[in-house]
Amino acid sequence: MGHGHGHGHTAAPASASGRYLRALLISLVIGAGFMVLEFVVGFATGSLALVSDAAHMFTDVLGVGMALVAIMLARRSGPTPSRTFGMYRAEVLAALANAVLLFGVAGYVVVEAIGRITDPPEVPGLPVLLAATAGLVANVVSFFLLRSGAQESINVRGAYLEVLADLIGSVGVLVSGAITLTTGWRYADPIIGVAIGLFVLPRTWTLARRALRILFQHAPAGVDVSRISTELSALPGVADVHDLHVWTLTSGMEVASAHLTVTAEAEQAAVLTRAQDLLAKRYSIEHATLQVEAPQSARRCTELSW
């Protein structure tokens, strides 16, 4: 019987999020400054659209802060005898928390706007326009800082989606302020506020679904587990593949485990090497725990109840 791990180092690897620590920190500082500005102007003018955008920016700041804490937790708390995978899942929990926050803010804005439709307050357009312009500049900077990281890390993607929502929100507030300033139409502000809230919801659902997929240890999107099983079974010396599991620890860290039953004449070390190479080169799964076993040992697996 043999065991193998498809990696060539002993140190804990860095997650995909860790490469964007500086970008997240800059985004946090920028977002916090302009969030305060939008809240002050929003409450002073009674602009729901501006308060909505400021609330989104608050979730952005809080979300980026959680992302930073999660990265530092993952870095400082590596695998231990009791925490065998370290704290990498903290990044996924931060992404899920961001999604919950975004759902809450979107719901609040929609409810508040519905209440204002019957008697929309008068909102001064110029202060709203100036504050929204400043917020837009801040969001554009953060957007470009986090854009590349959003393709690699679900944690960074959570922060990126919040920044994107804020950016769209700032554009909406600009439109609302311009309409109010030029026409005096009171309905522009609550309507734009609702539009901002509704824009966020589908993107938030996508983020939450991705985070839950990781937490439930489903196979990574785009990975065909049946195909992996077929290809492992086709390796020379492999008679059967069972107990195959593929999951994501955190963004950029795909993990697999499997039992490989080999033929009597097969060399176990050679089978193990070929299986590790297949998973690493074809599926980018560098960390694979593989158990190579003789047919008589494999019978025990069929007796398990789950």
pLDDT at 10: 41
77 pLDDT above the threshold of 70: no
DSSP 194-231: HHHHHHHHHHHHHHHHHHHHHHTTPPPTT--HHHHHHH
pLDDT of residue 134: 81
29 in the same domain as 48: yes
Please compute the mean of the pLDDT values over residues 174-191 and round it to a whole number: 78
Q: Which of 3-12, 180-189, 255-264, 274-283 has the lowest mean pLDDT?
A: 3-12
Name the pLDDT band for 151 (thresholds 50, 70, 90).
confident
Task: Please give the mean pLDDT across all residues of the chain.
Answer: 79
Residues 44 and 165 grouped into a single domain: yes
Q: Is residue 232 part of a domain?
A: yes
Pair (182, 252) in one structural domain: no
Give long-range contacts, CB 8 A cutoff, 24+ apart: 19-22.
19/149, 19/152, 20/146, 20/148, 20/149, 20/153, 20/156, 21/68, 21/71
- Say what the pLDDT of residue 96 is: 86
Whole-number pLDDT of residue 18: 63
**Residue 33, pLDDT score:** 86
State the pTM of this model: 0.68
Is the pLDDT at 52 greater than 80? The verdict is no
Same domain, 207 and 255: no
Give the number of other Cβ atoms within 10 Å of residue 136's Cβ.
20
In a domain, 5, yes or no: no
Q: Which of 159, 187, 215 is the last residue of a domain?
A: 215
How high is the pLDDT of residue 15? 53
* 202: in domain: yes
Domain boundary among 185, 215, 245: 215
pLDDT band, residue 107 (cuts 50/70/90): confident
In this structure, the answer to whether residues 129 and 268 fall within a common structural domain is no
Q: Do 209 and 258 belong to one domain?
A: no
Stretch 127-137: mean pLDDT? 79
Predicted pLDDT at 264: 85
Terminal CA-CA length for the chain: 22
CATH code for the domain of 259: 3.30.70.1350
Provide mean pLDDT across the span 241-256. 88
In a domain, 49, yes or no: yes
- Is 297 inside a domain boundary? yes
Q: Is 239 exposed, middle or buried (0-12, 13-18, 19+ CB in 10 A)?
A: middle
Residue 251 within any structural domain of the chain: yes
Let me know whether 209 and 227 are in one domain.
Answer: no
pLDDT of 168 reads: 76
Residue 68 sits in the same domain as residue 109: yes
Domain boundary among 215, 248, 278: 215
Q: Give yes or no: residues 149 and 130 share one domain.
A: yes
Residue 12 belongs to some domain of the structure: no
Mean pLDDT, residues 218-236: 94
Report how many domains make up the chain. 2
Same domain, 83 and 132: yes
Residue 13 pLDDT > 50, yes or no? no
Domain that holds residue 137: 17-215
Q: Residue 129 sits in a domain of what CATH number?
A: 1.20.1510.10
156 occurs within a structural domain: yes
